[in-house]
Chain A
Amino acid sequence: MSDTVVRQAPQAPATSSKHRSVASPARARRRVRLSSIGAHALLVLAALWLAGPFVWQVLTSLKSLTEATSVPPTWLPQNPQWGNYGTSLHGGVPLTAMLVNSVLSTVLRTIGQVLFCAMAAYAFARLRFPGRNVLFALYLSVLMVPAQLLLAPQYDLMLHFGLLNTLPALILPGMFGVFGTFLLRQFFAGLPADLEEAARLDGASTGRIFWSIMLPLARPGLVALGLLTIIQSWNDLLWPLVVNTDPAKMTLPVGLAYLQSLFPTNYPVLMAGSLVAVLPLIIVFVGMQRRVLEGIALSGAKG
């Protein structure tokens, strides 16, 4: 179907189009400008919808509870209450310790995911070994299993390892993922075989080929998986909530849930706390937005 469209398109109606554009270039340009204004109007509206809440969050975080709950509302904080940030950090939830835990667990989970998934993915994509299809089917079988459903046995596992209520418990299960293996397998499968074969002729071992040739080639894929893992680990609520007991060994999402049970409706303090929790990732994202967006796009194309 596609072929025919492409082939006949440029020919037949060409004259009519030329004819039309010659007729009224001004009108055509105006139409373009109008449609462009319309498009920008829609886009601005969408951006407002998607990013506006964060502006309101920042503004509210600087108001007193009385000001936040005054009618009619004020837009800008009349007397910025930086103390709300202090309250959220020191009001009974150890957010500072949780921030450290979040960073540690995100970094280590991401390293684990990228490394282990890349190793397995390369094996599945490029190596031949007995039982490959069976094993890959096993991987596929859990691809759709929501990990949260396995919380209770995973908790038991941590208990067996004597890891309950420790930092490694936050990190360990998150270091392994089936989706990543799957994503990267697509990547490796799509890489040209020439380099690999040349290296093999030179006597390079499989491990060397994987590490020095294939991994660098798969970098965009690794970055994509890394970014997805970072976002997922940073934002994960349920696992830390379940596996650890000591608040000082939990991560920021749990901190926010706790903050809310302490200050159920003190919105300025809640806004301040949640801003503290999301800011690190937002800074990382805005700082490397091009790479992040490319990576995400890639994960969609390959996943």
Chain B
Amino acid sequence: MNRRRTQRWVAAGAALLASTTLAACGNSSDGSSASGGNVTLSYALWDPNQAPAMKQIAAAFEKKNPGIHVDVQITPGQQFFTKLQTAVTAGNAPDVFWTDPIFFQMYAANGALKAQDGAGVDTSKFPDQLVSLCQSGGKLYGVPKDFDTIGVWYNKSLFDAAGVAYPKDDWTWADFQSAAAKLTDKGKGIFGTAAELNNQQTYYNTIYQAGGSVLNADKTASTYTAPETVQGLKFWTDLVDKGYSPSIQQMTDTSPMDMFQTGKVAMVWEGSWNVKPLSESPVKDHIDVAALPRGAKQATMINGLCNVVSATTKHPAAAEKFLTFLGSEAAQRIQGESGTVIPAYNGTQKSWVDAYPKYHVQAYVDQVPSGVPMPVTANTFDWMQNEPTILGKAWAGQVSVDDAAAQMAKTIDDSIAKNKG
């Protein structure tokens, strides 16, 4: 009798274990079984500001393609690429996702992205410069999504109070510096500007404006120690030293964007993707934007994202259909009209400008001819992640700008040697 009962217990225990595992497995397969005709594509991105536009695009696509469902997944900030890399390594990447030039080369070169034969994508509809950002080794791996440049946002109330004239698109470094000086009011805790430690929005721009660069022409070595490059960095450290910008520690406690939105900073350098949050901020009624000031020459970082398909997607046909749609004029127009980013498709840029009648956002588009693409190597993130730590010491005055630049140059050269490119 006892034995039989034992067996029953064994059976019950085994069943319990099996059911947990089975239930678990069953759960995983929903959405990935292509056989039934119903397909769910995951579309991963990092900017929640763009979520409404992306969901609108997904809805438009679903309407045209019954049976395919698009699940928009947002992982904000830096965590996006941390998680993406882990997922790609595990062969578990989202079906379609965004990449930016900093990560694109590494993903393309390591076979994480599905190459496009060009059948579904008409590259002639996009600016060559943006198409090249989605190419690696002569092959196309995605569709241009958008592009962005940088502008100077300023608080008109603070300018009026300090009696400073509003910036014009042809202004110079000297104009910017003198405005920053006059706008700074230590008694009221107001800073002329914020030297944010952000390569794309601040110091890369001034490096190229000064005539410097980060990499040499064939990307085999760093040029961080060039006098012009150092001058581009000193542009910012001088502002900190003179007290026209909050210190790096103050900016760690309160971001420049939040200081600008509470009227404590008069001018911030912001990418075009930040226009939407600025247009909804508490200071929205008394701010405007101008082109970046010119140094030895005019320059702005220009950057573009690509929509790409994972090499390991279980639904290649559906994913490519969606990719084609993302590169269509209709989808790109939705992006522009939402005001979130400047669409890449030729002729749709105006829809973005028109979304902001109140502001001089045309300045972003006008700067395109002087645009400089982000400096990239085979594994850009490998060295770029060290920039804040190394340059932060110069911002804080702990090391000289020359020393920090030399250390960056070494970091980049080491990375190029290690990653063979």
Residues of A at the B interface (CB closer than 8 Å) are 64-66, 69, 71, 91-93, 155-156, 159, 161-169, 172, 205, 207, 241-242, 245-248, 257-258, 261-262, 264-266
Contacts and interface: CB of A to CB of B under 8 A. Distances in A.
A262 B2 CA distance: 61
Given A168-B23, A168-B24, A247-B74, A261 B79 contact: yes
B238 to A, nearest CB: 25
A168 B27 contact: yes
Contact of A245 (B87, B253, B255): B87
A163 B76 contact: no
Contacts of B84: 245
Contacts of B83: 245
A161 B71 contact: no
A163 B28 contact: yes
A63 to B, nearest CB: 12
A163 B261 contact: no
A92 B76 contact: yes
A162 B92 CA distance: 9
Given A159-B90, A168-B27, A172-B24, A69 B254 contact: yes
A257 B79 CA distance: 9
A245 B44 contact: yes
A164 B312 CA distance: 15
Nearest to B77: A261
B86 A65 contact: no
A264 B21 CA distance: 39
Given A66-B282, A167-B27, A265-B253, A159 B91 contact: yes
Nearest to A243: B86
Contacts of B110: none
A167 B94 CA distance: 17
B261 to A, nearest CB: 7
A298 to B, nearest CB: 28
Contacts of A258: 75-77, 79
Looking at chain B, what size class is its interface with the partner chain?
Answer: 35 or more
A265 B255 contact: yes
B71 A246 contact: yes
Contact of B73 (A155, A162, A164, A245): A245
B21 A161 contact: yes
8 contacts: A64-B282, A65-B258, A65-B262, A69-B254, A155-B86, A164-B92, A245-B75, A265-B253
Query: 3 nearest interchain CB pairs?
Result: A92-B48, A168-B24, A261-B77
Interface in B7-45: 9, 20-21, 23-25, 27-29, 42, 44
Contacts of B25: 161-163
B282 A65 contact: yes
Contacts, number: 99
A196 to B, nearest CB: 16
Nearest to B51: A92
B189 interface: yes
Given A161-B28, A245-B92, A264-B258, 7 more contacts: A164-B90, A165-B92, A205-B2, A205-B5, A207-B9, A245-B94, A262-B48
Contacts of A262: 48, 76-77
Nearest to A168: B24
A246 B42 contact: yes
Given A66-B282, A205-B5, A207-B9, A93 B254 contact: no
B29 A247 contact: no
A163 B25 CA distance: 6
A264 B71 contact: no
B78 interface: yes
Nearest to A68: B262
A205 B5 CA distance: 8
A288 to B, nearest CB: 28
Nearest to A172: B24
B249 to A, nearest CB: 13
Contacts of A92: 48-49, 51, 74, 76
Contacts of B262: 65-66, 69
A241 B86 CA distance: 11
Contacts of A247: 73-75
A133 to B, nearest CB: 23
B73 A246 contact: yes
Contacts of B44: 245
A34 B5 CA distance: 67
A247 B5 CA distance: 46
Contacts of B27: 163, 166-168
Interface in B256-275: 258, 261-264
